[in-house]
Amino acid sequence: MATTTTEGIAPVLGDATVQELREAIHGGVLRPGDDGYAEACRIWNGAYDARRPALVVGCSGAADVIAAVGFARSNDLTIAVRGGGHSIAGFSSCDGGLVIDLSAMREVRVDPAARRAQVGPGAVWGDVDYETQAHALATTGGLVSTTGVAGFTLGGGIGWLMRKHGLACDNLVGADVVTADGRLVHASERENSDLLWGLRGGGGNFGIVTRFEFELHPLGPVVYAGAIFFPAEHDADLMQLFREWAPGAPDDITAALNLTSAPPLPVIPEEWHGKKVIALLVVSAGAMDEAEAQVRRFRSAAEPVADLLGPMPYTAMQSLIDPLWPKGIRAYFKSTNLARFDDELIERLCAQHRAAPGPQCEIHVHQMGGSVARVGEGETAFSERSMPFVVNAVTGWQDPGDTEAHTAWARAVVDAAADASTGRSYVNFLGDSQAARSSYGAETYARLVALKREYDPTNVFRLNQNIGPDED
């Protein structure tokens, strides 16, 4: 039995109690002092490396998840759920609680005829792309292949195929979910459709998903994709061009601008390494010649530093920037949805780019619209689908002494966009917690609270952008 039950303080778990859990489940249980415990504490964001959960439970299947949830509840342990471990805000780790680690459950099974994939909750997008591309199929995944399918999809899922095929959550057609009271339920359009609605953007608030089912689409394996890097002196011109071009671009194309510093990669001339640049990133799910024609206007707008845009395997594009964002880097993101992208904002973003305190300070401007905007408002928990652009300030650093400067910079970028913002943001792009209420519209939020009351009335699943069951 646990001897302390105060929330936030680790209960002292007796050896016999932990042994009971070890015997009950098929996966592994790690506690402080065990071999592998320190590594099991680490998530992608190195800023949270010091967190020390009482237990890390490596689940092998839904039965282990049910047992772990029951154990945590009986022993008053806060639960952290870990899929791919990429939570920017550190939700998939905790001090003194119980981490439900799903990373061993990463099987991906594809039915090419039905164009469906069954995906384990520990899979990362590289796993899904590998299995689906064997059949020249794909679904919307992340810009970095090591990001987990689970947290990504449950928050929404902004990726390179979204304007053609919708967000990741729009392609989620079914899920198995372990609820707070230890039941395993299925959510689909036919069964518990309210729960499916909530899983499409409401995050990990309603239970632990132990299997995802996605719709797949024909793609590739070679697509027109990549990046063109331009000198930062063209920031303003290229942002204006992007603003004019983006709303009328075909759905086949999804693009983003990245105001960054040139990475030290062999494909970029050495004299540019570390210098300020603006990159246009593009993926086309359509014909090569049409994509080439669409980007011609950018090519002729300025002399590039490096032009890496052309036919390439889709899986290569999906892992193109992986080396720049390794596990263990300290990171902070802050984002906002834009109502407009006016000249004043462009000027401010240029100034923020110049003021960036380190080489891994990036301002991403995502082109939205297309299929994302054609899903009706209210059809999924992911809301505000009409926004034309999303700005995301992304920053990473190694030295803990740089934390203040980097987080302050990302906040300043979003502050600079305040006038042009809708006031809402995408939950998965936030490094701060307690942002749920301000991320969803009032109507969606009220529905999310009602769903939370139904599936998790005592807020067992609260390490997330939390939707409180007791909120108005």
The binding site for ligand FAD (CB under 6 A) comprises: 43-44, 81-88, 91-92, 102, 121, 142-144, 147-148, 150-152, 154-159, 203-204, 208-209, 325, 428, 463-464
Q: Which is nearer to ligand FAD, 210 or 294 (CB)?
A: 210
Q: Which is nearer to ligand FAD, 209 or 350 (CB)?
A: 209
CB 373 to ligand FAD: min, Å: 16
Q: Which is nearer to ligand FAD, 304 or 314 (CB)?
A: 314
Q: Which is nearer to ligand FAD, 348 or 382 (CB)?
A: 382
The region that residue 357 occupies, defined by phi over 0 for left and psi between -120 and 50 for alpha, beta otherwise, is alpha
CA distance 162 to 273: 31
The region that residue 219 occupies, defined by phi over 0 for left and psi between -120 and 50 for alpha, beta otherwise, is beta
Q: Which is nearer to ligand FAD, 299 or 411 (CB)?
A: 411
CB 84 to ligand FAD: min, Å: 3
Q: Which is nearer to ligand FAD, 144 or 239 (CB)?
A: 144
CB 286 to ligand FAD: min, Å: 20
CB 291 to ligand FAD: min, Å: 20
CB 199 to ligand FAD: min, Å: 8
CB 157 to ligand FAD: min, Å: 5
Residue 197 phi/psi, 5-degree rounding, is: -55, -45
CB 236 to ligand FAD: min, Å: 25
Q: Which is nearer to ligand FAD, 105 or 350 (CB)?
A: 105
CB 180 to ligand FAD: min, Å: 11
Q: Which is nearer to ligand FAD, 305 or 445 (CB)?
A: 445
CB 302 to ligand FAD: min, Å: 26
Can you give the C-alpha Rg of the chain in angstroms? 22
Q: Which is nearer to ligand FAD, 121 or 304 (CB)?
A: 121
